[in-house]
C-alpha cells in the first residue's frame, strides 16, 4: 500500500513526504505576481509518469545488457482550460545516449507504457499517452 503525507509549511507552500521519508517542496501559484516556489502539483503528475517509465526502461535495457550511457525524458501535457484543468494528452520524448539497439529500446518503451508503469496505467483510461524517442551519439 502506498502512503504519502502533505503538510502546510506556510501560506501556499507544502511539503510532501513519501512512504520512505523523502520530502519535496510543493507550491501553488501565488496569484500576486510573486515568484512561484515549489513544484506545481500538476507538474508532479508529469514527473511521476516520466520517472516511472524511465525506471522501467533503464531496468529492462540493463537486463538486456544494452550499452545505455544516459536517458532523459521530456514529459509534456495539455490540460483543459477550465477547472479542474484535467490532462487531455501527455507526451513523453525519450533522449537516449549510447549504442542502444533501436528495436530493444522501442520494446522497452512499449513494455513500460503498456505493462509496467503504474502511473501511466492509472492515467490511460482518461488521458491519451504518446511517446517517441531519439538515440543520440555518445559524448
Neighbours of 4 (CB within 10 A): 11
Say which residue the cell 513544484 belongs to.
39
Crossing angle, helix 41-63 and helix 102-111, to 10 degrees?
130
Q: What does the pLDDT look like over 20-75, one tens digit per residue?
A: 999 999 987 767 777 778 898 999 999 999 999 999 999 999 999 999 999 999 99
Amino acid at each position: 500500500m502506498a502512503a504519502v503525507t502533505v503538510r502546510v509549511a506556510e501560506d501556499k507552500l507544502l511539503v510532501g513526504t513519501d512512504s520512505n521519508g523523502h520530502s519535496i517542496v510543493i507550491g501553488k501559484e501565488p496569484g500576486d505576481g510573486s515568484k512561484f516556489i515549489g513544484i506545481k502539483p500538476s507538474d508532479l503528475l508529469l514527473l511521476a509518469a516520466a520517472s516511472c517509465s524511465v525506471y522501467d526502461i533503464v531496468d529492462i535495457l540493463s537486463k538486456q545488457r544494452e550499452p545505455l550511457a544516459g536517458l532523459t525524458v521530456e514529459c509534456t501535457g495539455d490540460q483543459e482550460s477550465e477547472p479542474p484543468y484535467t490532462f487531455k494528452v501527455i507526451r513523453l520524448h525519450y533522449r537516449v545516449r549510447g549504442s542502444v539497439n533501436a528495436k530493444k529500446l522501442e520494446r522497452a518503451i512499449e513494455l513500460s507504457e503498456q505493462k509496467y508503469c503504474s502511473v501511466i496505467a492509472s492515467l490511460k483510461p482518461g488521458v491519451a499517452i504518446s511517446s517517441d524517442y531519439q538515440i543520440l551519439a555518445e559524448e
